[in-house]
Structure 1
Amino acid sequence: MKWRLTARFLLSILSIVVIVIFVNTAIFIGLMVYQQFNKFNDATADTEEIFVREFQQYIDVNSGQSSVRKEGLQQLHQRNAWIQLLDANGQVIDAYFAPENALSHYAPIDLIQVYKYEEYEAGTTVYVGSKDNISYLIGIKGSGVSRLVVHLSAASILQLIGKYGLLIVIADLLVATLVGWLFGRTLTKPLYAMIERIQHLKNHKHMPIKVPKGLYRPVFENLSEVSSELAAHEQERKRLEMMREEWISNVSHDMKTPLASIRGYAELLNERGLSLNEQTEYAQIIEKQSLHMQDLLDDLNLTMRLRHQQLPLTLTEVNIVQFMREIVIDTLNTPPYEQANIDFDATADVIVHSIDEHFMRRAVVNFLYNAILHNPPDVCVHVLVDANTITIADNGHGISAEDLTHIFERYYRGTNTEQKQGTGLGTAIARDIIEAHGGTVSITSEEQKGTTVTIQLHKVSEK
């Protein structure tokens, strides 16, 4: 994969180089044609050549004598130019503004020499014109026009291209290959590392990596974050799976115990010779174990409905003070909790909330029973209703910091409880019921000092 990416990158670089060479060649040829075309179109423009050719209108030729008119002299002066008039033999017969080193007689070779090269002052271009049998030379200083004489041969051009063109192309390709390879390593190395990182994620390998600097830094940072999140989710999944298996094991054990009792006492009931009292006792035990199993199944059903947010609430306006007072009274009237020490207090006589009495009672009773069951018999429980909060506080054993972090998790059973008859779902169910009402619940605790449960409800009405 690594070399395949590098090869593709090199191929793209070489393709670009070849295309650029052809494009540059086409542009160069096009510019040359365009330049020649413009030169051809500029034949009618006001150039120095046109000025020299049209200057004959200012030359008068009479009986072999020639002279330049005043207008012509003004034109020469404006263009910083000079003129020499020659007869048919090349002899200078008249001159205006000519330099001191100008020739007085021009042979044909002299005319060619002066026309092609700068033979006089630097920056002076000489032009040749004629009228009748009179020839004239006009030199213009500082015109900005220079003549470049190039000797070219078609055969020599083709020979040069044939000799060096292939070498130039090969050199260009080698340079492009070298540069492309260097840049390809820089670009494909992080891509290979990125692909390798993704393969590690696919194989559930969440090892930390060093984030490189440069263009791909955000990509590697995002991959590191994804890896961390996946590692955390995987650990959470394993933990929940382990807790679920442990919970299933506990529930299976809890189901087996009442089932064994029911089966055993049912077999005893089938025996003859049992007294009426024994039959009644066995039937009561079977009923008790059946009710325990029913509660267990109800908890399973309720926790699944809460998990999928399918709990139907029947909300009514309830005086939460009276509601909590009745729960405390009912608890004290229950035989196992008749000796419990529960204090109740409220900041107002009437505090109205919109709640589902059945489910809210289930949640509050869970926290209240936990405060009594998981503490010594002399524990003191204080219940306070204040505006939009319900507080249940005790001075019992407290909860360890480790257990407190898992207190609301399903399938979790604390280490400080000796009560094994529960399903491990009560606290989680209570929390979900309160949240279904739009409220929140929090638990604070310190070992050997007690636990406080705070239930936060919606805004209330006080009277």
Structure 2
Amino acid sequence: MKTFARLIRRYVLAAVGISLLLVALALAAFVWIGVRFGLQWQEQFAFSYSEIADHLQRTGEGDFSFDEKDADAWLKGYAWAMVLDDDGQVVWQYQLPEALNHPYTASEIAVFSRWYLQDYPVFCQVRDYGLLVLGMPQNSIWKYNFWTYPQLIEWIFYRGGTLILGILLMILVLCMVFSWRGTRSLRTVSDGMDALAEGRTVKLSTRGFAGELAEKLNRTSEQIRYRNEIIARRDTARTNWIAGVSHDIRTPLSLILGWSEQLHRDASLPEPVRKKAAGIQTQSERIRSLIEDLNLTSKLQYGAQPLRRTPVHGGPLLRKLVADFCNGPLAAGCEVTLAMDPEAEGASLLVDEALLGRALDNLLGNSVRHNAGPVHCGVTATGKSRMLCITVTDDGVGFPPGVLTALQKGEQGDNTPHILGLHVVEQIVQAHGGSVTFCQNEPVGSKVILKLPTQ
């Protein structure tokens, strides 16, 4: 909701700012245009009509002349000029068209003195020598009659600033009202988006300013609900299938293990038969381990495996886990060494010992099962920056390229090698808030680095 409110507030402030900027630019443009045309007027007309009237003089003999400059200089830019006496007679003229050179009545003078004389814009000045009429080029300017009440002019001058301020304030109020209505309409949409982000479904009202957006969110929510339902059904079916198959296999597998162990220990049987029985027992143990890994990875993936965390120290925990593996059936195929620094020895952890034991057992067992001869495995622990780093190495053939690619990139496909046991290791460590790195050991063998947070 804060995002929408901030967005609309910025929009309103931007709209107000742009409006004020446009008003300022318009005023500046008017001023610039006025100055521009004023300069052009000065370039076209050397003197104003009042200056010309002041410098035109009549001698005692009735002749007219200009002081300081000649007529061409004073009347630069004007089309013509004439002076009328009280009877309307032309007593002086400058480049006056023939059609205009005639006496004028009082009514004719009253008409052209305000606007035009035969399409010539004219300006008039009254002096002692008569009425000076200056004609400008046709279509050079427009002249219109304008009148108003003096009270209106006074009100505009004295109250105009207040009027403009009131209009701007009204614009601001209207913008704030519209922004408030828009924010209120978007509140429902914002709440719906928050609900979708939290994984909940929504059913929003489609009325108001954001009705179309609310409708789209409703459709999105329905699609998410439908897909989540399909995923939940699929995961439930998968979990039930794994649990059912594991349960159905467990009983016959127990019988196979028991009978193969009896045959292996039966001294009356020939040695080749006893070796085959031992092989059956080993492969059956491997099948049981795979079933346990399959059940465990399924539970870890869907959060069905509770972590029974207990506070422990790194040294005693690792010694116990390594000792448990050395007492198991796979220890005959390897030699395991354990080394720790003082920080790892006293590192305080909050972990599920059984799950960490399973992770270490899978790593060491993987080294034994995938190397032909006896292999040396090393477990090294170091403590640094509130992390316990456990490194498991061997001197065997190392990870096959396809396995290492699948472990490092996490890519799964039809041709992905079997990495269920190592995937379980990764899940267990990640469930404890740690990380796993798989790589090759130098100069030979494989290396796995487990990092667990300490207390």
Q: Which has the larger radius of gyration?
A: 1
Tell me the TM-score normalised to structure 2 length: 0.42
Tell me the TM-score normalised to structure 1 length: 0.42
Higher relative contact order (CA 8 A, sep 6+): 1
